[in-house]
Structure 1
Amino acid sequence: MNTTSLGFIGGGRVALILLSALEKNGSLPSDIVVSDMNEAPLAALKQRFPSIRTIAGGNVQAAGQDVVFVALHPPTAGEVLKGISGAVRRDAVVVSLMPKITAAQISGMLGGFSRIVRMIPNAPAISGNGFNPVVYPSGFSADEKGALARFFAAFGACPEVAEERLEAYAVITAMGPTYLWFQLYELEALARSFGMTEQEASEAVRSMAQGALETMTRAGLPPEKVMDLVPVKPLGESETAILAAYREKLPALYAKQKN
């Protein structure tokens, strides 16, 4: 598979995340075209990655590259994809980063084009530590799939999954960092207020969080035993409210993604 050029249709956060990952990995292609309807995100990307070409208001050039990432909000996808159906090369690969819209639906919008990969990236991909589930088209050869998987490795783990599970991953892994980051940053702030230096606070919280995750998977204990390892639970009285927020908000969000 040829990956000498990349196109991004949509120049927002996801484009920044994936371009940053490729740069960090040393695999950023020299030929990259990014299109968006708005000038502001393109200007920000151009400042961050001076070598890219940016185009406001037209997607044809971005759609004509070897690998075309589609980073759009699902409600806008239909009109945009129909508008580029004649620009996508027959040997290209279109990588949809959108939830909700299936590969079959995207193919219909692109006039029957079938070389469509779906990926649900998450923000830690920016540092090469993402969890980015992927669905490959059935018509891909083993060599094509392998080449693309090696390219995706710059983003972190990219497991192949069933397409019908992508929306579940969108809620759990793509949006998941937002459920945790504000709490971890607040712990760092509190640690500093308790007298730790910035470095001490950062190391303490990040090491604690990493250790907590490792304990979940490596201690050989069921969840209730893991959570009982620490006898003092300062937020114990708040757990019910926190769990209620998870159980109210996330199933509703998942249902919205699937409909």
Structure 2
Amino acid sequence: MAYTLGFAGGGRIARIMLGGWVRNGAAITRVKFAEPDDSAAELLLSRVPGPLERVSRVSELVDCEFIFLAVHPPAIPTVTAELSGKLKPESVVVSLAPKVTISQLQRQLGGFPNVARVIPNAPSLVGMGYNPVCLAKGFPDAHMVRLMSLLQILGKAPFVSESHLELYALLTGMGPTYFWPQFYELRSILTNLGLPPHYFETAMDQMLLGTLAVMEQSSLSESDVLDLIPVKPLAEIEGTLRQAYRDKLLAIYEKIRPVAES
């Protein structure tokens, strides 16, 4: 049976996930989305072909099988308030945001039980995602099978502990942003020096796979791995980079970690 999807929010995450499903031929008969920003809505409609319908209110999503909360954590209470008391038992609410827990979502939705959380990953756009999933206790098996089949079209969708979701937000959710600027700059330098783009892509793919394999499979210590290559062009700024990781990521984690429930 084909899917009907609703998105509360029509920004980047909606473009990534819907774009991935369309690219990979997901059986979707209808998509409704509520997005107050005209430019964001127009961008989604222009980037994602298919049966998309913009609606004016989040409450108009309640007839969809899966309703994705694709908004930032501060907007979650507003969205859940519009859905509370209107959801059908055959629907599932999937939050794509960190910070707000399943129990908090259920409470905000007036006790609605069918709630899941997913940390989305940008490579889902090309079917190479890694989207960690956590389901509410007692989540119906039939809904689980349908949801997992949908998410696995985008790549891997492992079940994880809810307490780890915000850590995955730092790793897989935001992780590509740590590397893309470096990769694009490296490509620019090398192709300008004469390396054909397709040679760069092949070598880059294998270099990255091998780099991780050495970390994970060589049994060498961190210092031994770092000593394998004698020429280190970025050695002078390595300390600055490491400190930036610590400062920025720990600060972000403090913002997105769930508030202890009383």
1:111 aligns with 2:110: yes
Gaps of 5+ in 1: none
Mean CA deviation greater in 61-70 or 175-184: 61-70
Give the partner amino acid of 1:224.
Answer: S
Q: Which residue of 1 aligns with 2:122?
A: 123
Residue 227 of structure 1: aligned partner:
226
- Tell me whether 35-44 or 51-60 shows the greater mean CA deviation: 51-60
Could you say which residue in structure 2 is the equivalent of 1:256? 255
Q: Is the 8 A contact 1:94 1:117 kept in 2?
A: yes
CA contact (8 A) 1:6 1:67 kept: yes
- Equivalent position SS for 2:7: strand
Offset of residue 170 of structure 1: 0.8
* Conserved? CA contact 2:2–2:29, under 8 Å: no
1:149-168 equivalent positions in 2, closer than 5 A:
149-168=148-167
Contact 2:15–2:48 (CA under 8 A) maintained in structure 1: no
Matched residues in 1 for 2:46 and 2:133: separation?
30
Q: CA deviation at 1:85?
A: 1.6
TM norm structure 2: 0.91
Q: Within 2, Cα distance between the matches of 1:254 and 1:48?
A: 31
Farther off after superposition, 146-155 or 4-13? 146-155
Tell me which residue corresponds to 1:94. Answer: 93
Structure 2 residue matching 1:117: 3-state secondary structure = strand
Alpha-carbon distance, 1:106 to partner: 1.1
- Could you tell me which residue of structure 2 aligns to residue 148 of structure 1? 147
Aligned length: 258
TM-score for both structures, normalised by structure 1 = 0.92
The yes-or-no answer on 1:80 pairing with 2:79 is yes
Give CA deviations for 1:62-85 in whole Å, capped at 9, x if unaligned.
Answer: 232011111011111112210122
The residue that corresponds to 2:191 in the other structure is 192
Give 1:141 shift. 3.9
Q: Within 1, Cα distance between the matches of 2:185 and 2:48?
A: 32
> Equivalences for 1:46-85 in 2 at 5 Å?
46-85=45-84
Q: Describe the SS at the equivalent of 1:83.
A: helix
> Which amino acid is 1:140 matched to?
F
Which is further off, 56-65 or 123-132? 56-65
**1:81-131 Cα deviation digits (max 9, x unpaired):** 101223321221111001111111111211110100000011011111111
Task: Give me the whole-angstrom Cα distance separating, in 1, the residues matched to 2:152 and 2:7.
Answer: 18
Q: What is the one-letter code of the residue matched to 1:20?
A: G
Which range moved further: 44-53 or 84-93? 44-53
CA separation in 2, counterparts of 1:106 and 1:180?
Answer: 33
Partner deviation per Cα, 1:178-210 (whole Å, 9 max, x = no partner): 011111111111112322122233333333222
In the other structure, the counterpart of 1:173 is: 172
8 A contact 2:32–2:55 mirrored in 1: no
Asked whether the 8 Å contact 1:9–1:34 carries over to 2, the reply is yes
